[in-house]
Copies of this chain bind each other. A is one copy, B any other.
Amino acid sequence: MCCSPPHMNTHVQNRTHPRAMRIPDSFRTLWLLKKLGLILGLCLGVVLIVSRSALLESVLPSLKLKSPLLPTPEVPTLSLLPQQQLRGLFSRDKLWLFPKNQCTCENAQSQGGYNFRKAYKESDLLGVDARRHAEYKHFQRREGLPQPLPLLAQPNLPFGYPVHGVVVMPLNTIPIPGLRFEGPDVPVYEVNLTATLGTLNTLADVPDSVVQGRAQKRLTISTSNRQLLNFVLQHVTYTSTGYQHNRVDVVSLESGSAVAKFPISIRYPVIPKLYDPGPERKLRNLVTIATKTFLRPHKLKTLLQSIRKFYPDLTVIVADDSEKPVKIDDELVEHYIMPFGKGWFAGRNLAISQVTTKYVLWVDDDFVFIPKSKIETLVEVLENTELDVVGGSVQGNTFQFKLFLEQSEAGDCLHRRPGSFQRLDGFPSCVVTSGVVNFFLAHTERLQRVGFDPRLQRVAHLEFFIDGLGSLLVGSCPEVVMGHQSRAPPTDKELAMLEKNYSIYRENTKAQIQFKLALHYFKNHFQCST
């Protein structure tokens, strides 16, 4: 096969991409037909036959192309598993986690879900969608999206080459490992390498008659000596010539009709941001407590007193957007005064922006530390796992939930399900999940990377974990318990007044909820949730 004639290789190459694209299409067909199937109940059998033949069409052309190679003339029945069975195979929490060209949130309402688009006035939608599209395109450009189609290798290529994992820093040079030619003997070997973003060269000391195009985008090696050819190939280098971040160059390696392509990633390593825990590794050098308060100095006072009872020397950061902030008499409390009513997440984001320790513990101002509120346990978990965030429970409530994403052109579909994914390795009483309660320890630097969106003024919680989806690995250890201060209306008149005043602001108004849903539609480019 190594000696397959030119037209074969080109066929092979032309064939691969269309197919790579065709696969999702065929499943879109499947998926559409499935909906049909549901509606037409009885006709399911028919539908399946149709769908199978539809799929065959998407497969057969490529097989036809291959037919000259086929040893057997008779065609076996080629069919795919019935779609019902496919759904069963690749479903979790009743979600079919398989690529589709579009997603919907079936009976979203019934599952307490939302169609985010409905958060906007019908009359505004035209303009909103245009702006959302434009901003999304800008976002994609910055992130280098959409990703190119997968790079497919042809069979029987006479080359050795790196498939994956070659990385170069901008403007740097790297030797390309693993390049060699093992094709058939010919009088003169000619091999061409071509790059797009950078240039190629070889460390081999050979005359220009052997190597042409040094330090250019196209390097040509021609020699009658296979050993020399491989020596040159073994020492080919790639040089990033433009200052670029997070780009992928595709280098092609050609000899006659054989073409191999491989990626070279242009990027910097992640710059570490380490924290020194100090010689004795004291807790106060590892953890800062952060909270946000609003109009409830009495609750905050109770919280702070409970903290001092168990952790007398920990630094506490308080973000306060009360109308008349009450001075806090504690040297280890850093009190930040915000404009009145600036908001829930603005305060949280302010608090975490001031942390200078490796970890930060988030608590609400109406919590109260109890003997089971063991910060050390949570530190132990983050120190010995890859988790970025680990929550405890607040009076037995862990608020664990899982998030699933279905991608779609028009906007992704978000699905929330209660519970966790799996046990946490090494900590049998903890689990891995997507979101937890408002009592959690987080790796400061990772938390700051996601942040709390200051656009969210009122009660918001889920929103933070949605923003962190994919960048924060979250766990939950229910054995670490935080107390909650009494929710009973205080008897003291003055306190009752404060509570009443507070409650006016705390609740999400209908407008606030609409705002949040609209934010998911525009900011996160979602379309709906269940």
Contacts and interface: CB of A to CB of B under 8 A. Distances in A.
Given A92-B171, A155-B160, A160-B152, A523 B177 contact: no
A335 interface: yes
Contacts of A522: 274, 276
A158 B72 CA distance: 19
Interface stretch (A260-268, A300-308, A493-501): A260-268
A151 B132 contact: no
A275 B451 contact: no
Contact of A178 (B150, B226, B354): B150
A469 B162 contact: no
A230 B16 CA distance: 13
5 contacts: A59-B234, A76-B227, A80-B203, A242-B421, A353-B353
- Copies of this chain present: 2
Contact of A160 (B16, B128, B335): B16
Contact of A454 (B71, B82, B353, B469): B353
Nearest to A265: B164
A314 interface: no
Interface stretch (A136-144, A372-380, A392-400, A479-487): A136-144
Nearest to A466: B271
Interface string A105-148: 00000000000000000000001100110011011011101011
Contact of A173 (B90, B277, B446): B90
A221 to B, nearest CB: 14
Contacts of A277: 131, 135
Interface in A482-522: 522
A523 B231 contact: no
Contacts of A98: 172-174
Given A152-B178, A153-B157, A269-B405, 8 more contacts: A23-B175, A62-B234, A66-B230, A132-B274, A153-B262, A268-B471, A335-B339, A350-B353
A448 interface: yes
A167 interface: yes
Nearest to A150: B165
A40 interface: no
Contacts of A204: 78-81
Interface stretch (A31-39, A180-188, A362-370): A180-188
B71 A226 contact: yes
B80 A205 contact: yes
Nearest to A78: B231
The list of the 5 closest CB pairs from A to B, nearest first, reads A268-B470, A152-B178, A243-B421, A150-B165, A353-B353
Interface in A250-303: 260-263, 267-279
A47 interface: no
B182 A1 contact: yes
A322 B448 CA distance: 25
Interface residues of A, number: 156
A163 B160 contact: no
A460 interface: no
B349 A71 contact: no
A192 interface: no
A232 B161 CA distance: 27
Contacts of A161: 152-153
A154 interface: yes
Contacts of A443: 142
A227 B63 contact: yes
Question: Most B CB atoms within 10 A — which of A81, A163, A245, A277?
Answer: A163
Contacts of A269: 145, 405, 407, 470
A349 to B, nearest CB: 4
A239 interface: yes
Contact of A230 (B23, B63, B260): B63
Given A263-B164, A407-B269, A421-B171, A156 B156 contact: yes
A217 interface: no
Contacts of A197: none
A128 B422 CA distance: 37
A86 interface: yes
Given A155-B159, A185-B71, A353 B342 contact: no
A162 B157 contact: no
A182 B139 CA distance: 41
A178 B149 CA distance: 11
Interface in A214-260: 215, 225-228, 230-231, 234-235, 237, 239, 242-243, 245, 248, 260
A211 to B, nearest CB: 11
Given A165-B148, A277-B135, A353-B454, A524 B272 contact: yes
Contacts of A462: none
A459 interface: no
A23 to B, nearest CB: 5
A285 B132 CA distance: 15
A182 B155 contact: yes
A448 B277 CA distance: 24
A227 B70 contact: yes
